[in-house]
């Protein structure tokens, strides 16, 4: 039940026109696209159209992103090309086609590398690591996460660094290297606390709680971390909240507090 933070939908480009089009409906965006006189505006509109379709229609998201790839190539705009290729990969991510995801994200990574865009490089290294993590390749996941960590440290990107530290901790937890997992997760927790990032605090707390719970090392600490996760997830109204409740119910059960365990389980199942 390890939890990682996948920075797919969290990082957007700084391009002004993308911020301008993000609030429009699909029909309005299509009208803007039809009347746009500049290719850069067309790409940015296609970028937002693609994002709008990831969940409801990933095939349509891919179609819009591929159009953005074509125009970006035509005008040789490497930054927009990088994000367009990333969006194609995202469409395939929502289709669970991880082979295609990696194909397009590797291309996106190369586009960002060609212009030395540290933010884009770090984002793609982290996301590629998350795909390898999801498919069970811990070695390659760690390789990409460590690259992302180095870039985030060099660029002073504390949010990225905290996220990658948390994901590295999850990999070490997965391989049962609990000391390294705990070290990276505590670093991440401290950074998320400084950044006032509730979801980061919650997911990292869940992982730390799992470490203590799985090892039967310190159930008091496990409960404290799961309680912290529950508190922060409740603030964010996050779908991971039932996970924290189920862990807390397990601890209550082991402590023979069956009424509390049952109450938490009922609360968790009501949210599922």
Mean pLDDT, residues 182-192: 96
pTM: 0.82
Query: Of 148, 139, 97, 143, nearest to 118 (Cα)?
Result: 148
Give the count of beta carbons closer than 10 Å to the beta carbon of residue 26.
14
Give the count of beta carbons closer than 10 Å to the beta carbon of residue 22.
14
User: pLDDT, tens digit, for every residue of 132-153?
Assistant: 998 999 999 999 999 999 999 9
User: pLDDT, tens digit, for every residue of 145-186?
Assistant: 999 999 999 999 999 999 999 999 999 999 999 999 999 999
């Amino acid at each position: 039940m390890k939890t990682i933070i996948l920075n797919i939908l969290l990082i957007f480009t700084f391009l002004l026109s993308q911020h301008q089009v993000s609030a429009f409906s699909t029909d309005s965006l299509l009208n803007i696209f039809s009347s746009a006189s500049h290719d850069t505006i067309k790409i940015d509109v296609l970028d937002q159209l693609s994002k709008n379709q990831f969940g409801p229609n990933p095939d349509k998201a891919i179609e819009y992103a591929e159009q953005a790839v074509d125009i970006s190539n035509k005008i040789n705009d490497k930054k927009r090309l990088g994000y367009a290729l990333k969006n194609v990969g995202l469409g395939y991510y929502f289709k669970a086609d991880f082979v295609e995801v990696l194909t397009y994200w590797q291309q996106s990574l190369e586009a960002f590398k060609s212009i030395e865009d540290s933010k884009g490089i770090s984002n793609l290294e982290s996301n590629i690591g998350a795909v390898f993590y999801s498919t069970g390749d811990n070695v390659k996941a760690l390789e990409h996460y460590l690259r992302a960590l180095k870039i985030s440290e060099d660029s002073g990107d504390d949010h990225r660094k905290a996220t990658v530290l948390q994901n590295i901790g999850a990999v070490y937890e997965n391989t049962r290297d609990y000391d390294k997992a705990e070290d990276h997760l505590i670093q991440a927790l401290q950074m998320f606390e400084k950044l006032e990032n509730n979801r980061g605090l919650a997911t990292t707390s869940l992982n730390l709680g799992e470490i203590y719970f799985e090892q039967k090392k310190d159930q008091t600490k496990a409960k404290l971390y799961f309680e912290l996760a529950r508190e922060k997830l409740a603030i964010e109204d996050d779908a991971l909240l039932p996970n924290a409740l189920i862990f807390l119910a397990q601890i209550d059960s082991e402590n023979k507090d069956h009424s509390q365990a049952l109450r938490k389980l009922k609360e968790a199942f009501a949210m599922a």
